[in-house]
Amino acid sequence: MTALLTILVLVFVAIAIWQMVKIFDLSQAGNSNSQVATDKDNTINGYLNMGFLAFIYIITIWSMVNYGDLPLMSNSASAHGPQLDNLMIISMVLIFIVQTITQFLLHYFAFKYKGEKGKKALFYADNNTLEFIWTIIPVIVLAGLIIYGLFTWSAIMNVNEDDDPLIVELYAQQFNWKARYGGADNTLGKANVRLIDIDRANILGVDESDPNAQDDVIATELHLPVGRPVLFKMRSQDVLHSAYMPHFRAQMNCVPGMTTQFGFTPTVTTVDMRQNPDIIDKIANINRIRAKKSEKLIIKGEEALERYEFDYLLLCNKICGKSHYNMQMKIVVETQEEYDAWMDEQKVFKNSLIN
């Protein structure tokens, strides 16, 4: 922060000096140095402008070589994930091509028609064919992208209730998540923040009189059986949060006072994802960085960092307060048997209350 402020102060001081020099120049009587650019000025600026174009291209290539390897971009873990990744990749490739060409044209024409003594601009009023072409091409491309996006969106958002999805409530509060399962009947009991009773450990405000609520299970880890559609019902206790499950290409706002929903089918178990070569590379890289940091920590007499192991995560993606960055819950995708075994260990709602 101090560094940023120092830089800002230096920038403002530089601007002030520059402005003062300009005022001084202008106030000189019998000013001989003209404000009109000479051919030499224009040529220098023309080449600087082309140099800037080269700089943009070089920095783009450099970024792609150094940061272009995004293993998570091609390893979605949900049934709809590949559709969304396709949409993303098509959009990015299109934007990249259009940007590369238009950026070049912008700089090239500025260079080609730079001011020169004796060169006069041609007055060219309009050309309907040209205008038609540069209107219709973006219209077709954009309409195609938007319609494709809308179809993808509705395919993802329309959860078929006939598939008997597992119903899970994601409950957001500053700054943690809880997952609530419907129990044997797969039906969530009614809940309302007004029913929260901390003294009795009813932390989600579940309605104790609702028969559907009795076998509900509240967990601090989100376990999902692989291959079964899940329908999430999101609630928030306090402010806007956003349930973000990047590996499953899922995100939905959690809004106080209403229930939102998002459904997906997990397709890869946590165990299988840990075996994925891209993920192994990524994790190895993270652990290399951790090992390097640990060396420094040990020299300082502090504890070394733990080895990192891959896990799916539910993150909060709305800045919701001071511990927002750490608002997360582990997601475990497992086989139906493992899921059932885990569920058997959980306490049902009616037995979790303090009387």
Binding residues for Cu ion, rule: CB under 5 A, are 241, 316, 320, 327
> For Cu ion, which is the closer residue by CB, 232 or 339?
232
Partners of 41 in beta bridges: none
Bond into 175 cis (ω within 30): yes
Question: In the complex, what is the shortest distance from the CB of residue 190 to Cu ion, in angstroms, rounded to a whole number?
Answer: 24
- Indicate left, alpha or beta for 273 from its phi (over 0: left) and psi (-120 to 50: alpha): alpha
Cα–Cα–Cα angle for 210, 251, 156, rounded to 5 degrees: 90
Question: In the complex, what is the shortest distance from the CB of residue 235 to Cu ion, in angstroms, rounded to a whole number?
Answer: 13
What residues contact 87, with CB distance under 8 A and at least 6 apart? Answer: 148, 149, 152
> For Cu ion, which is the closer residue by CB, 172 or 333?
172
E-assigned strands of 29-175? 166-173
What one-character-per-residue DSSP string does 122-142 give?
------HHHHHHHHHHHHHHH
> For Cu ion, which is the closer residue by CB, 112 or 322?
322
Question: In the complex, what is the shortest distance from the CB of residue 256 to Cu ion, in angstroms, rounded to a whole number?
Answer: 12
> For Cu ion, which is the closer residue by CB, 94 or 313?
313
> For Cu ion, which is the closer residue by CB, 148 or 244?
244
> For Cu ion, which is the closer residue by CB, 77 or 316?
316
Handedness of CA 235, 237, 241, 244 (dihedral sign): negative
Question: In the complex, what is the shortest distance from the CB of residue 319 to Cu ion, in angstroms, rounded to a whole number?
Answer: 8
Question: In the complex, what is the shortest distance from the CB of residue 324 to Cu ion, in angstroms, rounded to a whole number?
Answer: 5
How much of the chain is in helix, strand and coil states, percent to nearest 5?
A: 50, 20, 30
> For Cu ion, which is the closer residue by CB, 168 or 327?
327
Q: Is 270 helix (H, G, I), strand (E, B) or coil?
A: helix
Question: In the complex, what is the shortest distance from the CB of residue 99 to Cu ion, in angstroms, rounded to a whole number?
Answer: 34
Question: In the complex, what is the shortest distance from the CB of residue 280 to Cu ion, in angstroms, rounded to a whole number?
Answer: 31
- H or E segment and range at residue 5: helix 2-27
Separation between Cα atoms, residue 48 and residue 110, nearest integer Å: 11
Q: Is 193 helix (H, G, I), strand (E, B) or coil?
A: helix
